[in-house]
């Protein structure tokens, strides 16, 4: 029976998994129903049936392991849900190759086959948001929220509840919390919002003490300079440097939307990256841009300066993490990872690099040797944000699965899971590791007080 599936893909019965994938991709592109927009209804139906046949063959053969009994292979029957997964996988491949319109089309097809296909809504929403289709992205994220509410998640994790050792306080706001930051003294929390406002909160009293607004653009990134002389915010193409404590500001910028920012531990260098693929290195107190790097990397999703301020780590929708010199921008090394990257973080001593991925995992690498020393598995959705505790002993991760998880770096075991948020998208931690702050799309700000 396996011979039939190999024959559908035009392969010999001993074809490798790589050959199976290559044949599937080639045939799927030929017989994809979208390739027949002007065909007759009969021809369109023929294309649909042919595509289903190809998808079924691929689904069976990619799970085939020689030496195992074959009946278990055929327990996966051709269903609308399986076809949705096929379209989703094709969409991810398109996205990783920067073919965003094609990716959106594939995710849409997946949703047509399975209206509850959460991953397709989520990835499509992410791309739509990046392309500037805010209303469409909002609709997809709302659908994700509804689907997650209907799911019953069973876990053996130690859940964080309001108890003697964990104190949770939620601040309510009427706009999504897109980013947040805490100062070194751990007395001030700053939150950025989709409605273009920046709020400053006193952490002790939990009261709002000031609101900043410059224009009508949403705030996507917030950074405190480590010397606490500057608060840095981002609005679309613009970087705003707020002087502290006067809150006078000056402006830096790109020619297109800014995707990520990072500041050096000595407060001297700011790095920003844009949709236009430019990476700008700014020497803050010289009030000038020192260098522009034109990157060929597909859409960059995360960027971090190492603690020693010698190089950059750059994550993207590619399955590669690139390390570039902060001095001249030259590529130093490339690290192959398992999935597209959504978040990255250096340990405080700069020796380790944690990578949060679209495949729900967190990989840990030794920076110098590029050796992978661990994979943290426990999230059930994209790892949206990552930070190390200030002592380097824990990794804190936030995911679209509505949880924040605290991991031990030494044992690589899960310490605890914090629940109470939906779609956590921002994280910060105080220098003493006593407080974690988090924000989400609902406008809820969580302040978790405990000994991490």
pLDDT, tens digit, for every residue of 220-273? 899 999 888 999 999 889 999 999 889 999 898 888 889 899 999 888 899 999
Tell whether the model's pLDDT for residue 124 goes beyond 60. Answer: yes
Regarding predicted confidence, which is higher, 311 or 5?
A: 311
What pLDDT does residue 164 have? 36
Q: What is the mean pLDDT of residues 412-438?
A: 81
Residues 277, 254: Cα–Cα separation, whole Å: 10
pTM: 0.66
- Give the pLDDT score at 171: 77
Following CA atoms 199, 203, 205, 206 in sequence, which dihedral angle do they give, to the nearest 10 degrees?
Answer: 50
Res. 72 pLDDT band, cuts 50 70 90: very low
Instruction: Give me the chain's average pLDDT, please.
Output: 82
In the prediction, which pLDDT does 74 show?
37
Dihedral sign, Cα of residue 386, residue 365, residue 377, residue 360: positive
- pLDDT tens across 381-402, in order? 889 899 999 889 999 998 888 8
Binned at pLDDT 50, 70 and 90, residue 50 comes out as confident
- Residue 161: its pLDDT value, please? 38
Q: Is pLDDT of 80 > 60?
A: no
pLDDT in tens, 142-177: 888 778 766 544 333 334 333 334 566 777 767 888
- Domains in the chain: ranges and CATH: 2-149 (1.10.287.110), 159-213+257-449 (2.130.10.10)
CA within 13 Å, CB half, 54: 24
Residue 205 pLDDT greater than 60, yes or no:
yes
What was the pLDDT predicted at 137? 86
Paired strand residues for 260 = 273
Question: What confidence category does residue 66 fall into, taking pLDDT thresholds of 50, 70 and 90?
Answer: low
Residue 366 banded pLDDT, cuts 50, 70, 90:
very high
Whose structure tokens read 């799309």?
Answer: 441
Q: Is the pLDDT of residue 326 over 80?
A: yes
More confident residue, 40 or 110: 110
The DSSP element (H or E) to which 88 belongs, if any, is: helix 80-96
Q: What is the predicted pLDDT for the residue at 21?
A: 80
Helix (H) or strand (E) run with residue 342 in it: strand 341-346
Q: What is the pLDDT of residues 271-300, one digit of tens each?
A: 999 888 889 999 887 766 678 887 766 678
How many Cα atoms occupy the beta-carbon half-sphere of 349 within 13 Å? 7
Q: For residue 245, is the peptide bond before it cis, meaning its omega torsion is within 30 degrees of 0?
A: yes
Helix (H, G, I), strand (E, B) or coil at 41: helix
Closest CA to 436 of 422, 450, 421, 420: 450
SS3 content of the chain, % helix, strand, coil (to 5): 25, 35, 35
Question: Which region holds residue 64: left if phi is over 0, alpha if psi is between -120 and 50, else beta?
Answer: beta
């Amino acid at each position: 029976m396996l011979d039939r599936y190999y024959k559908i893909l035009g392969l010999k019965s001993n074809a490798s998994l790589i050959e199976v994938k290559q044949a599937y991709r080639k045939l799927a592109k030929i017989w994809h129903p979208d390739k027949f927009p002007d065909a007759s209804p009969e021809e369109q139906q023929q294309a649909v049936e042919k595509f289903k046949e190809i998808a079924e063959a691929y689904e069976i053969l990619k799970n085939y392991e020689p030496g195992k009994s074959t009946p278990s292979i055929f327990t996966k029957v051709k269903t609308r849900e399986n076809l949705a997964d096929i379209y989703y996988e094709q969409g991810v491949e398109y996205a990783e190759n920067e073919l965003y319109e094609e990716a959106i089309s594939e995710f849409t097809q997946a949703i047509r086959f399975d209206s509850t296909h959460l991953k397709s809504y989520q990835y499509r929403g992410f791309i739509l948001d990046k392309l500037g289709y805010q209303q469409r992205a909002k609709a997809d994220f709302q659908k994700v929220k509804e689907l997650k509410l209907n799911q019953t998640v069973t876990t053996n994790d130690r859940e964080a509840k309001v108890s003697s050792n964990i104190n949770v306080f939620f601040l309510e706001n009427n706009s999504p919390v897109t980013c947040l930051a805490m100062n070194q003294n751990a007395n001030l929390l700053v939150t950025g919002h989709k409605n273009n406002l920046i709020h400053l909160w006193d952490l002790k009293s939990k009261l709002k003490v000031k609101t900043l607004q410059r224009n009508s653009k949403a705030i996507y990134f917030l950074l405190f300079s480590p010397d606490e002389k500057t608060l840095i915010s981002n609005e679309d193409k613009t970087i705003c440097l707020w002087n502290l404590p006067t809150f006078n500001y000056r402006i830096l910028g790109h020619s297109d939307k800014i995707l990520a920012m990072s500041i050096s531990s000595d407060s001297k260098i700011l790095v920003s990256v844009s949709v236009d693929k430019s990476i700008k290195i700014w020497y803050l107190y010289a009030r000038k841009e020192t260098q522009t790097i034109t990157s060929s990397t597909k859409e960059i999703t995360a960027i971090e300066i190492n603690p020693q301020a010698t190089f950059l780590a750059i994550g993207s929708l590619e399955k590669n993490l690139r390390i570039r010199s902060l001095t001249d921008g030259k590529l130093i090394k490339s690290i192959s990872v398992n999935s597209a990257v959504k978040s990255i973080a250096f340990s405080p001593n700069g020796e380790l690099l944690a990578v949060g991925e679209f495949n729900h995992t967190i990989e840990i690498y030794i920076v110098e040797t590029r050796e992978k020393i661990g994979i943290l598995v426990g999230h059930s959705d994209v790892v949206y944000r990552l930070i190390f505790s200030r002592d380097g002993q824990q990794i804190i991760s936030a995911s679209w699965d509505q949880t924040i998880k605290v991991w031990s770096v030494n044992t690589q075991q899960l310490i605890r899971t914090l629940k109470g948020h939906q779609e956590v998208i921002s994280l910060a931690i105080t220098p003493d590791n006593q407080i974690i702050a988090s924000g989400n799309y609902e406008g809820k700000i969580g302040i978790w007080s405990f000994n991490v």
